[in-house]
């Protein structure tokens, strides 16, 4: 199914910190959204090939944000990185193959960020054959690693690097893991169910201590709130949110005074409502009718409003689409959506249609995501 859209803005560049030069010193911010600064933008033309169509894109770089100027794509979001202040410490930034593009953008923001290479090789039997170039050169340095645990197959090789770096006599170590993948679909309902989120949290909790102390671990919008308590005392987890990006983006909309926030279930409300308390709120709920789970309106009135559905992640998209139809049936004038983590297994983004205006029951006006899942961006939003 082909999807179409207009006036979309694709946010695919999470920043590493409020001040990028303090990355290894304090918990960094990965995602920030900025307003446009047209007098400073560097425009780079590129082409998007997705949704079975070709689209023209414009990459505008000033505090790093990406703007889509096409008249036909539904997916959108934007993000920025704070500029580095002068005179701060040097940070050696390592990255995996999936996060290379983001690491390049981070390094371009400041002379204090030095990209360091890892040779991601394999032996003939398929096991990792890894090598950190010029390992002596990072002694006494502040080191960060930008990870992506997109599949079980890549976790082991990245963990090998993550465990090795703190042992190289470095001053401090920060691990930035935008998306904590395990636990998003787990249900502990009967004896024998295994909480793999707990397993991964314990593995990360045992990262060796560097000269500066325990590892700082940065995660955005972890799915199950109780998972933050899975981590042990040998790691310093910092749980951040992408919602400030959304709030900044909403302020730029022409109908910013007509925004209402909708939560697709009670879990989303618990997670985000305090950050969005200045907006009118709609709460939906899921109820079982036979073998079906149906979305119902629990609280709030969408009539005549631009309703923005907010959740931490999207997979198949079924809940978002059902919520969209419910809001449209109850009189919403326009419907958009934001999720921090766009997982979209099996190209499920193709289910989403674009509302060209006046048909909120047919599609979304905007769909904002971040690039916390790089493979989604690469597959579905190639420039």
Instruction: For 78-88, write each residue's pLDDT tens digit.
Output: 333 344 344 45
* pLDDT score of 166: 97
Alpha carbon distance 175, 194 (integer Å): 25
Rounded Cα–Cα distance for residues 127 and 124 (Å): 8
Residue 69 has pLDDT above 90, yes or no: no
Q: What percentage of the chain exceeds 70 in pLDDT?
A: 74
Looking at residue 380, its pLDDT comes to 63
- CA gap 167, 107 in Å, rounded: 24
Check residue 239 and give its pLDDT.
Answer: 93
For residue 214, the model assigns a pLDDT of 96
Per cent of the chain over pLDDT 90 is 56
- Higher-confidence residue: 378 or 245? 245
3-state secondary structure of 74: coil
| Contact predicate 34/9, CB 8 Å | no
The Cα–Cα gap between 10 and 193 comes to: 38
Q: What is the pLDDT of residue 87?
A: 45
> Poorest-confidence range of 116-120, 227-231, 241-245, 296-300?
227-231
237: which strand partners?
A: 217
Q: Is the pLDDT higher at 206 or at 376? A: 206
Mean pLDDT of 363-371: 92
Residue 2 pLDDT exceeds 60: no
Task: Answer whether residue 46 shows pLDDT above 60.
Answer: no
Residue 194 — very low, low, confident or very high, per pLDDT cuts 50/70/90? confident
- How high is the pLDDT of residue 109? 86
The per-residue pLDDT of the chain, averaged, comes to: 78
Q: How confident is the model at residue 77 (pLDDT cuts 50, 70, 90)?
A: very low
Q: Exposure pattern of 143-177 as b/e (b: 16+ CB <10 Å)?
A: bbbbbbbbeeebbebbbebbeebbebebbbbbbbb
Q: Compare 11 and 347 and report the one with higher pLDDT.
A: 347
Phi, psi of 17 (to 5 degrees): -165, 160
At 57, phi and psi to the nearest 5? -125, 155
Q: Tell me the average pLDDT across 178-186.
A: 77
The helix/strand/coil state of 364 is: strand
Q: What is the pLDDT of residues 286-334, one digit of tens each?
A: 887 777 778 999 999 999 999 999 999 999 999 999 999 999 999 999 9
Q: Largest alpha-carbon pair distance within the chain?
A: 64
Residue 183 — very low, low, confident or very high, per pLDDT cuts 50/70/90? low
Q: What is the pLDDT of residue 365?
A: 95
| Spatial distance between the Cα atoms of 139 and 130, rounded to a whole number of angstroms | 19
Whether 261 shows a pLDDT value over 70: the answer reads yes
The torsion angles phi and psi of 334, rounded to 5 degrees, stand at -155, 145
For residue 191, the model assigns a pLDDT of 81
Range with the poorest average pLDDT among 16-30, 254-268, 341-355: 16-30
Q: How confident is the model at residue 363 (pLDDT cuts 50, 70, 90)?
A: very high
* Burial environment of residue 125 by CB neighbours within 10 A (0 to 12, 13 to 18, 19 or more): exposed
- Is the per-residue pLDDT at 74 higher than 90? no
What does the pLDDT average to over 41-66? Answer: 31
pLDDT of residue 78: 34
At 238, list the tokens.
């910092």
Q: What's the average model confidence in pLDDT over 148-172?
A: 95
């Amino acid at each position: 199914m082909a999807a179409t859209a207009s006036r979309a803005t694709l946010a695919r560049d999470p920043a590493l910190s409020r001040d990028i030069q303090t990355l290894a010193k304090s918990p960094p911010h990965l995602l920030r959204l900025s307003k446009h600064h047209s007098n400073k933008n560097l425009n780079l033309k590129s082409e998007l090939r997705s949704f079975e169509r070709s689209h023209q894109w414009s990459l505008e770089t000033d505090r790093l944000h990406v703007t889509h100027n096409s008249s036909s794509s539904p997916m959108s979001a934007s993000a920025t990185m704070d500029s580095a202040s002068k005179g701060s410490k040097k940070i050696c930034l390592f990255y995996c193959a999936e996060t290379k593009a983001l690491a390049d953008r981070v390094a371009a923001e400041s002379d204090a960020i030095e990209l360091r290479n890892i040779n991601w090789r394999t032996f003939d039997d398929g096991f990792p054959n890894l090598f950190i170039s010029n390992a002596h050169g990072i002694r006494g340095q502040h080191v960060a690693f930008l990870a992506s645990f997109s599949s079980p197959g890549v976790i082991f090789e990245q963990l090998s690097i993550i465990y090795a770096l703190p042992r190289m006599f470095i001053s401090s170590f920060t691990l930035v893991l935008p998306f904590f993948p395990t636990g998003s679909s787990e249900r502990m309902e009967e004896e024998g169910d295994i909480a793999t989120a707990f397993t991964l949290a314990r593995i990360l909790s045992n990262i060796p201590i560097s000269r500066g102390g325990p590892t700082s671990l940065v995660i955005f919008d972890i799915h199950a709130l109780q998972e933050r308590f899975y981590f042990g005392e040998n790691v310093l987890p910092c749980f951040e949110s992408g919602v400030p990006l959304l709030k900044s983006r909403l302020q730029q909309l022409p109908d910013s005074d007509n925004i209402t926030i909708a939560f697709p279930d009670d879990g989303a409300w618990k997670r985000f409502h305090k950050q969005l308390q200045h907006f009118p709120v709609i709460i939906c709920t899921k109820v079982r009718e036979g073998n079906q789970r149906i979305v119902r309106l629990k609280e709030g009135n969408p009539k005549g409003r631009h309703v923005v559905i907010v959740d931490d992640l999207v997979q198949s998209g079924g809940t978002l689409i059902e919520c969209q139809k419910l809001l449209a049936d109850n009189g919403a004038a326009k419907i958009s959506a934001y999720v921090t983590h766009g997982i979209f297994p099996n190209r499920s983004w193709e289910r989403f249609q674009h509302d060209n205006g006046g048909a909120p029951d047919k599609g979304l006006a905007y769909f904002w995501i971040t690039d916390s899942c790089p493979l989604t961006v690469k597959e579905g939003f190639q420039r």
